[in-house]
Structure 1
Amino acid sequence: MNASPIRILIHGASGRMGQALLRLAAEQAGHCQVVAAVTRRTPSPRVVDGVPHFAASELAGVPAFDVAIDFSLPDGFDRILALCVERGAALVSGTTGMADAQAGALAQAAKSIPLVWASNFSLGVAVLADLVERAAAALPGWDVDVVESHHVHKKDAPSGTALTLGGAAGSAGAPVHYASLRAGDIVGEHTVQFTGLGERVELVHRATHRDVFARGALHVARQLAGRPAGSYRVRDLLA
């Protein structure tokens, strides 16, 4: 939608996702420009590869931006949401573990800015969710199981993505069952299985590199900039 590069603020820039976003955004200079990277603590040095770095306490002083991409912690989420509303900028967030009040604030903010919150920014998972929803509608009465596998360090089970896929499957009214596996260094695998009498349909997504999530977030940010206020899903912004 944008002929010139969009101006991006990365909130949570010192984390694994933040670092991937900085690296991949630099490879997409024709489409996006990171104008600020925000970290919890005072950064040193202040400029890295041409990108100004700010502490979270300095958030009010960041330069103008079109979209903030937030992969931080719940205790820092309120400030970036408030800044986006104040400046009329879009927000893309993958921060998890938020309180009910924060989810409510997100819904309220969608009345004045365009925003996306998602548990998974893989474009493939967005397509999978759409396929799951359509399969559930076409196969009423079938058993539905969501099986997810992740690395041994992932604590939540089922994963947020599994719950999102289960919600898509449950849209047709079928009960959904979950199974979780934690093993090795699996980045993320999700299988949604529909089972009827004498037949089974499986829809599968496998992530083999964590960069898919950062690439997806950058894609969503480019597509979201300049849109009307509202709450969007990743699959609303695929093209």
Structure 2
Amino acid sequence: MHKIAVAGASGRMGHMLIEAIRASQDCQLAGALDIASSPAIGNDAAAFLGHASGVPVTADIRAALKNARVLIDFTRPEGTLAHIRHCREMGVNAVIGTTGFSEDQKAQIADSARDIAIVMAPNMSVGVNVTMKLLEMAAKALSTGYDIEIIEAHHRHKVDAPSGTALKMGEVIAQAMGRDLKECAVYAREGVTGERDPSTIGFASIRGGDIVGDHTVLFAGTGERIEITHKSASRATYSQGSLRAVRFLADKRKGLFDMFDVLNLR
């Protein structure tokens, strides 16, 4: 059995992960972690399902990790980094779905991967990562003569923009075309902007309601446009992808991986 600890256990994603683990034939909930102010602290982690898992929700990181082989973390950058430090000390692998990391924070995670195995991806959905592969193929074929815009929409509670998934899409496209996203990304347009620079990749973010996650990449050429879209109807797709990442890490001791590695999309 894959023994898993879940960070943010009382949140929306935490609940989805716990439900997926319970429904799985080869995974077991071994720890449940949340912030000290969570009203779920001390309660059974699966109580929301009307089920007793025997795993209490705790704010003690080491207690949550002591019986686990892998931590799944979809929290906030600062919290994830604290969790990863303990994972490194205790030899616990990690699956990171948290977004909004700075370059320095990403470097800290990469450093931790010298001692433990980590799968980190801005989107754990299998479908999204297959979409990334399609975008790589499209970018190579449409590298000239097409303007590229990335449009993403998420629920009103999302705190970072553009989404980590949108940024990853931009990185995949830029790399396929031999560009650096840091130099060609345009994140906002207002007022008299002048004509569009054909070498840029534009981003637009929409926030509202309970949108789980929609992403569209537009390749606009002369006389035609191509749109590659992925829409998430449920967070269940993220939890299922996370469990695939857990299984991938079963025989890994160290190293930094992403969902392309998990899905053999290299």
Residues 1:47 and 1:61: Cα distance change in structure 2 (over 3 Å) = closer
1:190 aligns with 2:215: yes
CA distance in 2, matches of 1:113, 1:35: 18
1:71 aligns with 2:74: yes
SS in structure 2 opposite 1:52?
Answer: coil
RMSD across aligned positions (CA): 2.2
Q: Is the 8 A contact 2:155 2:210 kept in 1?
A: yes
Structure 2 unaligned residues grouped into runs of 5+:
47-51, 180-198
Question: Deviation at 1:78?
Answer: 3.1
Question: Deviation at 1:168?
Answer: 1.1
Residues 1:61 and 1:201: Cα distance change in structure 2 (over 3 Å) = closer
- Find runs of 4+ consecutive structure 1 residues off by over 6 angstroms: none
Higher strand share: 1
1:55 aligns with 2:53: no
- Which of 122, 127, 148 pairs up with 2:125? 122
Q: Which residue of 2 aligns with 1:147?
A: 151
Question: Deviation at 1:107?
Answer: 0.8
1:37 aligns with 2:32: yes
Q: Is the 8 A contact 1:193 1:201 kept in 2?
A: yes
Q: Is the 8 A contact 1:35 1:52 kept in 2?
A: yes
Q: Is the 8 A contact 1:54 1:62 kept in 2?
A: no
CA distance in 2, matches of 1:131, 1:38: 36
CA distance in 1, matches of 2:256, 2:34: 26
CA distance in 2, matches of 1:61, 1:121: 22
Q: Is the 8 A contact 1:31 1:222 kept in 2?
A: no
- Cα distance per residue 1:133-170 (max 9 Å; x no partner): 12111222121111112233434332221111111111
Question: Deviation at 1:47?
Answer: 6.5
Q: Which residue of 2 aligns with 1:22?
A: 18
Could you tell me which amino acid in structure 2 is paired with residue 178 of structure 1? F
CA distance in 1, matches of 2:245, 2:45: 26
CA distance in 2, matches of 1:47, 1:191: 36
- Which of 2, 15, 18 pairs up with 1:6? 2
Q: Is the 8 A contact 2:42 2:58 kept in 1?
A: no
Q: Is the 8 A contact 1:38 1:59 kept in 2?
A: no
Paired residues, number: 234
CA distance in 2, matches of 1:158, 1:190: 11
Q: 12-21 or 169-178, which moves further after superposition?
A: 169-178
Q: Is the 8 A contact 1:34 1:51 kept in 2?
A: no
- Cα distance per residue 1:8-49 (max 9 Å; x no partner): 111221111111111111000x21111111121282235652
- 1:152-231 equivalences in 2 (<5 Å): 152-171=156-175, 172=177, 173=179, 174-231=199-256
Question: Deviation at 1:68?
Answer: 0.8
Structure 1 unaligned residues grouped into runs of 5+:
none
Q: Is the 8 A contact 1:9 1:38 kept in 2?
A: yes
CA distance in 2, matches of 1:69, 1:63: 14
CA distance in 2, matches of 1:47, 1:170: 42
Question: Deviation at 1:79?
Answer: 3.2
